[in-house]
Amino acid sequence: MDQVQGVDSPDMLRPSLEIKALHNLIGRYWNGIVPPDSRMSGANMPIVLYLHEHRDSDVFQYDIERAFSITRSAVGWDARVRKIELTPTASDLVVEVMRAAHQLETTLFTGFTPDEQKRFMDDLARMRANLAATGLVGCERTPDEPATRTRQDTTHHQQKGDEAA
């Protein structure tokens, strides 16, 4: 079997595999701390926290898509914009979820100095920018870009969508 030069090298770093493995472990952590009577899954916890953190702003489906680097499927396009809010049940669980999220972040950074923590976060941002620059993935928000849109942005977005129709 032919090998591509450098691809099968034992010295080649594979951050994508390590990041994916860490992502899977974080998912399992979330599943392990979900309150049993909440009827939620661990996958919902980061979205619950995002909605809580932006509870004083209008949050729409596309805000969630951008914040979590997800896209809707190409099955069809629905021009209606839907606002997303926490249910009272989810709101009641926010303090517990926030406590678990803080513990997760603390655990992840155990043994890191504050400078190492900042450097790690900067390196992750650079990796995201590198992937976005390929043009093969959607353009996610940058760390300094607002996570949610204002009502004015939403109106402008709706008008642009109307023009495209």
Looking at residue 115, its pLDDT comes to 97
Containing H/E element for 50? helix 45-53
Query: For residue range 114-162, what is the model confidence (pLDDT) as tens digits?
Result: 999 999 999 999 998 999 899 888 655 544 454 433 334 433 444 444 4
- The pLDDT value recorded for residue 67 is 82
3-state helix, strand, coil split of the chain in percent (to 5) is 60, 0, 40
Enclosing H/E stretch for 36: none
At 133 the pLDDT is 92
pTM: predicted TM-score of the whole model, two decimal places: 0.61
Spans of the chain, pLDDT less than 50:
1, 74-75, 142-144, 146-165
**pLDDT score, position 158:** 40
